[in-house]
Amino acid sequence: MRLTKVLAALVVFSALAGCDSSNTAKLLEGAEKGDVKSQLALSTAYSVGRSDLKKDPAEALKWLTEAAENGNSEAQYSLAVKYFVGRGDVIQSYSKAAYWYERALMSGNEEALYPIAINYQVGFGVEKDIVKAYAYLLVAQSKGYKIAIDDDAKFTSRMTLSEREAASKMAEEINDKYLRKDK
């Protein structure tokens, strides 16, 4: 999955490198009509700058937000990371980060599972809830996320058996609701 993202980024960057003002006009037109690919391409173009577009973090954020609001899970996840860290023109907001991680998961982005688990474990932008935290961690583990597997003891060390059982049941519900491929 990560290799796919790297290859997709390379395609976007190589496409941007060859863009001229007529292509920019087409991207703007598409983005303004709600085309998510155009919105993401503009966000990237404004993030890095290029010959016909100056680097503009505010415009980059605008188009990333548009793509996220239009349901693109990668944009939702990227926006969550920006709010969590507080990069560039984005003021750190754990509540906005939590919101966008949840939206990314609702759109099928399983990479949001571990950050959501951490949010519930610590109380970043959401009410602290160790059962929910562990439920998201269990789903992340089932998807093969090594960091989630490695962090198991950090979650379970303060949990009762009944809390772990409740988390296990909740994990099945989360997986069925958001990530089951055979829906």
Is pLDDT of 13 > 50?
no
CA atoms of 115 and 133, how far apart (whole Å): 9
DSSP string, 41-91: HHHHHHHH-BTTB---HHHHHHHHHHHHHTT-HHHHHHHHHHHHHT-TTPP
Residue 6's pLDDT is 42
| pLDDT tier for residue 22 given thresholds of 50, 70 and 90 | low
Q: Quick one: average pLDDT of 26-33?
A: 92
Of all residues in the chain, what percent carry a pLDDT higher than 90? 75
Distance of CA 92 to the CA centre of its chain: 15
